[in-house]
Amino acid sequence: MATRQQKRHNRKQIIFVIALLILAVTVKVFEEWWYFKNARAIRYPEFGIVIPGGYSIHGIDVSRYQQAIDWDEVNAMKVKAIKIGFAFIKATEGTSIIDPNFKRNWNKSKRAGVYRGAYHFFNPNKDGKTQAENFINNVELKQDDMPPVMDIEQINSTSPVQLKTEAKRWLELVERHYGVKPIIYTNVDFYKKYLGSEFDDYPLWAAHYYQPYEPRIDRGWVFWQHSDKGRVNGISSKVDFNVFNGDSVEFKNMLIN
């Protein structure tokens, strides 16, 4: 049977552990508050979302789900210092699918003065070479376009090894064709679980919603998709919002020349 002294000692240990837990939670809450405060994240009613501060170049990404877009209205919209400077546009998917709105969006965004980039939705169950050919055959990149993008966010029924093999095949063929290293788009959890260090040489467009300051990933990133609920003049439905991780000079240097 425990003595009175042992019971007191046990109570002190329990109190100490509880105090540590309370301290850890307090530190975490303070950290989140500090990030939010220093990022100067502001809610813009016109855009319908909170936009993180500290970034000067903002953009969207679109596909057929946004239907017919008035790109002149997109380009004209400006709220304080925030305006849409670039757009990633879905071009292809898998081995044969072409987004029905791609050509329209591709041409009209350019005419409206919005920097444009094209992305391919990668199907892990399909051959990477054939998927690369689908993208290459349908996307002509010109001076001042953004680098090509591989959108990889599903593993489906394939294995991680096969996923990496086919993804690398796509990336290598697309880089060889356009002469520029493609950007990888994915969410931070998928990157950590299925891609990781083998793909760290590629620029990253990270999806991580509702973070106050930056995506939570331990590698460099170029673009950050921070919300999927934005509103923009000229687009009838909700749209994804992104920021570029750099200034205007770095953005220009990233473009195809």
Tell me the catalytic residues. Answer: 61, 153
**DSSP one-letter code for 129:** H
Distance CA 104, CA 92 (A): 14
What is 55-80 written as a DSSP string?
---EEEEE-GGG-S--HHHHHH-EET
Residue 16 backbone class (left: φ over 0; alpha: ψ -120 to 50; beta: rest): alpha
Report helix angle 160-178 to 128-138, nearest 10: 30
Q: Which of 205, 143, 128 is nearest to 173 (CA)?
A: 128
Distance CA 37, CA 43 (A): 13
Q: Which of 39, 57, 41, 40 is nearest to 247 (CA)?
A: 57
Q: How far is CA 111 from CA 49, 108, 255, in A?
A: 27, 5, 17
